[in-house]
Amino acid sequence: MANEVWLNELDPDKRNQYEKMKFENIQLLWEINNIWAELDNVNMALSKADAALKADTLRQRAHHLKKEKGNLLKKKEELELQTNESNLSFPEAWERLIQRIK
């Protein structure tokens, strides 16, 4: 009731401005609610996709095999270096050892 009295006492320009702002506020609230709903939908879709990826055993196995391949390649490289070092002369082997330590 107090708001109605206050609104009635406003000059027409101010009242018109108030009504425009009130309408704009309603539109913005509606837009915010729509955006929140869209965000919720995106989050749900993302959660489903994440769960599907985690449940994909082939993907998990491929990831594991890639890691294992990397480890085996490093080990192969180390073994090749050791093999090559055994064929080097003592000064050359000594120089490589110093280079590795640095």
Domain ranges across the chain: 1-55, 66-102
Q: What is the pLDDT of residue 60?
A: 84
Task: Please name the residue ranges forming H helices in 56-88.
Answer: 57-86
Q: What is the pLDDT of residue 42?
A: 96
Q: pTM of the predicted model, to two decimals?
A: 0.47
Q: What is the pLDDT of residue 69?
A: 96
Interior CA angle at 83 toward 65 and 95, to 5°?
A: 115
Cβ within 8 Å of residue 85, ≥6 positions away? 93, 96
pLDDT beneath 70, residues of the chain: 1, 85
Q: What is the pLDDT of residue 82?
A: 76
Q: Are 98 and 90 in contact (CB under 8 A)?
A: no
Strand, coil or helix: 47: helix
- CA dist., res. 42 & res. 39, Å (int): 5
CA 85 to chain centre: 45
Paired tokens of 74: 């490093």
Q: What is the pLDDT of residue 1?
A: 64
